[in-house]
Amino acid sequence: MKKAIRENKLLLQFMLFSVLGGMGMGVAQMAITLYAVALGATASQIGLIGGVQGIGLLLTVLPIGFLVDYIGPRKVFVFGVLVSAFLYLLFPLAHSSNALLGLVTVIGFFTSFRFIPMTSAFLEFVRQVGSKKAGWQRGSLSFGLVFLGPLCGASISKYWGFTITFYVVSASVFLLVFGASAFFSDTKRSGSITLADSFANVKEFFKDRNILEASSAEALALATFSCFNAFIVVIAIRVFHFTTQVSSLFVSFEGVIFIAALFTLGRVLEKLGQRYFYLTAIAIVITGLILLSCIWHPAFLVAGTLLIGIGLGMFNLVNVTRLANANAEKGKTAAVFSMFTMLGAIIGPLIGGIAGELFGTYAVFLMFIPLYLAFALKIHLGKSTDALLEVSVSPAENFAQ
């Protein structure tokens, strides 16, 4: 009973922590975009400002993962929080779009200092409590990032100006310091292994099938997610002639369904087992992709959006559960997982764009179907699949290697 109370308390802390962290990122993203527009940035500059932070994150996730396992997540997290909070104070001093681009580039290199320790700590938590709550942290983060953050960012910028907005972002980031001791241990996890040894062992780490397969699956899911976000509004406007406001509701609707799936389908994962849960998720996503490609009636677009949200939420649940139970250090695991997902988020819109140019609008989402079928075939026919994907009786038990 005491263990359950302690786990629920820690889960609630994780959720509040994630909502606050996600909201800070959401406010910052919205404020940076609006500030760029106010500074007269061109379309290409706005695109660079939107993408350059992801490049910094992509370049640093692996080194930060090694650092988390070497010196412990708390020190890494606190350092990242303090530097990021300070950098956000400098944003009001950017009086040109190029200066703003420079600041966004710099802060991108410190985002992983916050993100990787949080992910590694939650993977350890899921390993202990099981898969039924594997999506709650991601759901909380998404709620803050996608809904509360943009809403607050737009409102604060409108009524109090950009200077106050960036000060609010800085304060919200700094507040995360006070939750660090609740989630992060202050001890390194690598024992006598040096940082150089940790880098030298990276090849062996990438041979772990659980980590590689789950990360690849999440990369595919994020590629689909980012392609959906990039093209669903375009299709709604150009094909069905919806207004911009109505078209944007498809993105919000998919986000709501995705978050709901993360919070509600964990128990279904435990009952079905990971193998059948994977295959069910793939079937749902493929059906959703087919419906999104049926451009004869907007009802297909709504139904496809619903299924994409459910299927991608299921994908994240099973991938996080596999990573949590992988027999590997959680800092590196979180780093590899994040690197794959960011690559997927970058590649997804490119695949959709090429498909749209070559075969027409209806083919934007169809190009992902062969990838999902190939992954389903690998799950169904791959050697030792049952052993690798079996849900452990004890949540803390590692997967078979």
Tell me the pLDDT tens digit for each residue of 1-34: 666 677 677 778 778 888 888 888 888 888 888 8
Instruction: Write down how long the chain is.
Output: 401
pLDDT of residue 399: 32
Domain architecture of the chain: domains with CATH: 2-180 (1.20.1250.20), 206-389 (1.20.1250.20)
pLDDT band for position 289 (cuts 50, 70, 90): very high
Tokens 């406001």 belong to which residue?
245
Q: Which of 82, 72, 85 is nearest to 120 (CA)?
A: 72
Do residues 241 and 365 lie in contact, with contact meaning Cβ atoms separated by under 8 Å? no
Highest mean pLDDT among 53-67, 99-113, 370-384: 99-113
* Mean pLDDT confidence for 64-70: 83
Taking the complete model, does pTM exceed 0.85, yes or no? no
| Residue, of 203 and 64, whose pLDDT is higher | 64
Closest CA to 116 of 34, 21, 193, 202: 21
| Percent of the chain at pLDDT exceeding 70 | 84
What is the spatial distance between Cα 291 and Cα 307, in angstroms, rounded to a whole number?
9
pLDDT tens digits along 147-184: 788 778 888 888 899 999 999 999 999 998 887 766 67
Within 10 angstroms of residue 216's Cβ, the number of other Cβ atoms is: 17
Q: Taking residues 216-239, what's their average pLDDT?
A: 87
Around Cβ 160, how many Cβ atoms within 10 Å?
12
pLDDT (0 to 100) of residue 284: 97
Q: Is the Cα dihedral 124, 128, 133, 134 positive or negative?
A: positive
pLDDT in tens, 123-153: 777 777 666 676 777 788 888 877 788 778 8
Q: What is the mean pLDDT of the chain?
A: 81
Confidence (pLDDT) at 197: 57
Distance of CA 395 to the CA centre of its chain: 23
| 164 vs 43, more confident | 164
Higher pLDDT, 45 or 78: 78
133: Cβ contacts below 8 Å, ≥ 6 apart: 11, 126, 266
* Statement: residue 67 has pLDDT above 60: yes
Cβ-in-10-Å burial (0-12, 13-18, 19+) of 55 comes to middle
b/e for 352-367, b at 16 or more Cβ within 10 A? beebbeeeebbebbbb
Out of 76-90, 258-272, 335-349, least confident range:
335-349
Region 255-269: what's the mean pLDDT? Answer: 89
pLDDT at 291: 95
- Asked which of 90-99, 319-328, 369-378 is least confident by mean pLDDT, the reply is 319-328
Which percentage of the chain shows pLDDT scores above 90? 26
